[in-house]
Structures are given as structure tokens and as C-alpha cells.
Chains A and B, each alone.
Chain A
Amino acid sequence: EAQVTQNPRYLITVTGKKLTVTCSQNMNHEYMSWYRQDPGLGLRQIYYSMNVEVTDKGDVPEGYKVSRKEKRNFPLILESPSPNQTSLYFCASSFGQGVNTGELFFGEGSRLTVL
């Protein structure tokens, strides 16, 4: 089954404790992206990756890191989480250039609470 898998789905952590949210897709997609969803603000893009070893900042990259060492994986790293990073996070993927229309395939979401 074609899917985007995120882990963990739920996490409660404390300020400053480094954490990683994993994202994996099995559709051989070149494009991957991270969003955060907050009430009243919709979806805001954190980082995206056009292909392996190519990443770029989205609209709200501060406090986050990403890496794209393999095509299927795109982890989101919070080196020192703060309470304002409490949010619902989504990973999404898409086909690469040439066949891409911008249609995204989303994971189920990871709800993060930073105390």
C-alpha cells in the first residue's frame, strides 16, 4: 500500500530535550516536505527537499533541522524544543519534476507537546 509513515504519532516532551520525528514514503517520490498545523494558521511549510541531499527552508524553519540521506526518508529534528513548537506536524511527499502537479500525499500526522 502506497503510504507516508510518520513516527511517533503522539509525543509529550520537555523543553530542550532533542527529538526526531521520522518520515518514510514507499512511493519513490523525489519531493518531500514538512508542515506544521496550528489553529487559525492552517498549514505552514517548515522545510522541503527536492531530492536526496537537497533541502531548503520553507516559511517557518527556525528551530528545526532536516536531512535527506535516502530518497524514502526525511526526518524532522528539533534540537532544543520549546513550547512554541507544540503543534501538529505533517510529512508529505510528491513526484519529482517532469511529472509533478503539486499533488501531495500526507502522513497521518504527529502531535507534539513541549512542556
Chain B
Amino acid sequence: AQSVTQLDSQVPVFEEAPVELRCNYSSSVSVYLFWYVQYPNQGLQLLLKYLSGSTLVKGINGFEAEFNKSQTSFHLRKPSVHISDTAEYFCAVSPSGGSYIPTFGRGTSLIVHP
């Protein structure tokens, strides 16, 4: 079984500032890692994913995340946010073998102020 902890329920930030959304996980097996974004009144869409290879993963809209196996973390970063980045962000993990059913964190609300 695995679990996901998103350490911040809400992150306020000013436009053009950098941001980091934190995600830690626990699992007894190797995992795949995902970040999803949910814009207001929309469904979730994939932002980026780590399956294997380079631990630095780049996604859409200028976001990136780094997989740190020793710290079991997969933090999401963006060097300069825009108002349009205001959304809910979900971290998820799924086991890389056997059952592939993902486990989600509770989400982090990113609020970008002008």
C-alpha cells in the first residue's frame, strides 16, 4: 500500500514569484509519480509524470518536478507563476508492478495574487 502527503493545503503567492508545492509519499514498492492540475470548474488533467530515467521531469505550462528517492519526495516547482496558474494541484503515486491503482494526495490550492 502507498500513501501521499501534500504538506500544504493552500499556497498563496504573488504573480511572477517562484513556487514549490510539496509532495511526500510512502510505499513498500517502486512507484510511478504524477502531478495533476484542476482549474476552476474543470476536471483533472495531467501536468507531468515520472516513470523512470532522469529524476527531473518537465511538464506543461513551465512546471517541473524532481523525484528524490531517498527523501521519498516529488515536489512541484515553477520559477515564475502567472494568475492563470491558480488551481488545485494533486500529487499521485501508483505501484510500478502489479496493481496500478493510483493513490492521491489531498490537494494543494495554489492562489496567485496580482
**With known contacts A90-B44, A97-B100, A108-B43, A102–B105 Cβ distance under 8 A:** no
9 contacts between A and B (CB under 8 A): A33-B101, A40-B106, A42-B107, A92-B44, A100-B100, A102-B34, A102-B100, A104-B92, A106-B43
Nearest 5 Cβ contacts at the A-B interface: A102-B94, A42-B106, A106-B43, A100-B100, A102-B102
Interface size on A, residues (CB 8 A): 22
Contact check, B94 vs A90: say whether CB atoms are below 8 A apart. Answer: no
> Which of the 9-residue segments B15-23, B45-53, B57-65 touches chain A?
B45-53
User: A89-111 interface mask toward B, CB cutoff 8 Å, 1 = contact, 0 = none?
Assistant: 01010100100111110111100
**CB within 8 Å of B: which residues of A?**
4, 31, 33, 40-43, 45, 48, 90, 92, 94, 97, 100-104, 106-109
What is the CA–CA distance of A48 and B94 in the complex, to the nearest angstrom?
15
What is the interface residue range for chain B against chain A? 20 to 34
In the complex, what residues of B have CB within 8 A of residue A90's CB? 43-44
Rounded to whole Å, the gap between the CB of B91 and the closest CB of chain A is: 10
In the complex, what residues of A have CB within 8 A of residue B104's CB? 42-43
Rounded to whole Å, the gap between the CB of A106 and the closest CB of chain B is: 4
**With known contacts A40-B9, A40-B106, A42-B107, A103–B42 Cβ distance under 8 A:** no
Contact residues, B60-114 vs A (CB, 8 A): 90, 92-96, 100-102, 104-107
In the complex, what residues of A have CB within 8 A of residue B100's CB? 31, 94, 97, 100-102
Contact check, B42 vs A109: say whether CB atoms are below 8 A apart. Answer: yes
Contact check, A103 vs B106: say whether CB atoms are below 8 A apart. Answer: no
